[in-house]
Amino acid sequence: MLRGIMFNNVFHKWKRSRQFVTRILMSKKYHYGFINSVQKIFKEFEKQWDENDITTLDFSKWVTCYKAKVTIVTIIGQPLYNLSSFDSISKAASEYIALFAFLVFVPKCISNIVMLFGFNTVKKNSMFLNGTMRNIIQNRRNEIKNGSTTSFNLLDLLLVSNSSNDSEEYIEGEQPMDDDEIENNLAESTATSIETISNTLCFLIYNVVKNPSILEKIHAEILKIFGSDINSTITYETLESCRYIDAVVKETLRHSNPVPYNLRMLDDDERMDKFDWSPGTWFWIDHRRIMNDPNHWKEPTKFNPDRFLSEENGGTDEFTTYQVHDLMIRISHK
């Protein structure tokens, strides 16, 4: 479990996983694959609504199921494996996160006692993710060895990363990942991407519905870029020109961030803010407070995507989501 990124405090192992995984997740080919999968899956759901005459649904339940399916396709490559039980995957994903949160935040003397009574159920469920992944990875490694072409999902791309040095994701001086490392990273990415995205989408829809003028602007942008044909295809390039929708996503992450806190551990002596900190000190990074600090944001409690379109409103249209994240880290270090 300590060979991934999210919950790993062994620096060299964390760095290796981070290089492999983020290079793939940030690559254009992964994004192309992702955009195709998202649309294909949405069309399948839409067809089911039509066939079953569904006109209303519980968005929070639906979006978790939708995101679980998108996650499985884009991380493990579901067309190759018939993983039909999305409910159990999302349950295992949230218990996997809960397990780590429990181990990180609850003092050892208490967690050890809880471990003795009943904790095994949570542990077993969260392990389901790791166990399922292991078989899939071994099968897929064999298939690729026997000539199967790779797809643009995280598993396939991790399996072939650094096996030859001719790809743009090649990382100098690193051996390819072994099954154990891939398993840890797939389980983590699966667990951390389902609830983050589905909660973000719930917050987004809630804030947009409460602000009809924002909904109008979204409609106008969709009409301008995609036209009135509801079957038109979304491409990487058209998506990049959706600047207002991009601002709505950024404002959702600022206003209602689904991951309001983060932790960092110091690996060396550091002097900060007149204090000396020793290695091993944990730092609590308060995203929520940073993103609502009136010194940095005008009217921080207001849901206002326009702030990401104009400099004077406390945002700049040059921000990418990654830069927003980077800004949070920089401000928190001040």
Residue 25, interface with ligand HEM (CB under 6 A)? yes
> What is the C-alpha to C-alpha distance for residues 185 and 40, in angstroms, rounded to an integer?
25
Residue from 182, 197, 208, 290 binding ligand HEM (CB under 6 A):
197
Residue 37, interface with ligand HEM (CB under 6 A)? no
- Taking the complex as a whole, how short is the minimal distance between the CB of residue 259 and ligand HEM, in angstroms? 4
* Nearer Cβ to ligand HEM (104/110): 104
Residue 64, interface with ligand HEM (CB under 6 A)? no
Residue 136, interface with ligand HEM (CB under 6 A)? no
Beta bridge partners of 276: 271
> What is the C-alpha to C-alpha distance for residues 108 and 334, in angstroms, rounded to an integer?
31
* Nearer Cβ to ligand HEM (64/193): 193
Pull the structure tokens for residue 19.
């290089």
Residue 202, interface with ligand HEM (CB under 6 A)? no
List, as one string, the DSSP characters of 83-132.
Answer: ---HHHHHHHHHHHHHHHHHHHHS-HHHHHHHHHTTHHHHHHHHHHHHHH
Residue 262, interface with ligand HEM (CB under 6 A)? yes
> What is the C-alpha to C-alpha distance for residues 12 and 16, in angstroms, rounded to an integer?
6
- Taking the complex as a whole, how short is the minimal distance between the CB of residue 243 and ligand HEM, in angstroms? 19
Residue from 110, 259, 265, 272 binding ligand HEM (CB under 6 A):
259
Residue 323, interface with ligand HEM (CB under 6 A)? no
> What is the C-alpha to C-alpha distance for residues 330 and 324, in angstroms, rounded to an integer?
10
Handedness of CA 248, 254, 259, 263 (dihedral sign): positive
* Nearer Cβ to ligand HEM (220/272): 272
Pull the structure tokens for residue 193.
């991407």
* Nearer Cβ to ligand HEM (93/309): 93
- Taking the complex as a whole, how short is the minimal distance between the CB of residue 165 and ligand HEM, in angstroms? 23
What phi and psi values does residue 155 have, to the nearest 5 degrees?
Answer: -60, -55
Beta bridge partners of 272: 275
Beta bridge partners of 50: none
Handedness of CA 322, 59, 220, 254 (dihedral sign): negative
* Nearer Cβ to ligand HEM (93/99): 93
Residues near ligand HEM (CB under 6 A):
5, 18, 21-22, 25, 189, 192-193, 196-197, 200, 258-259, 262
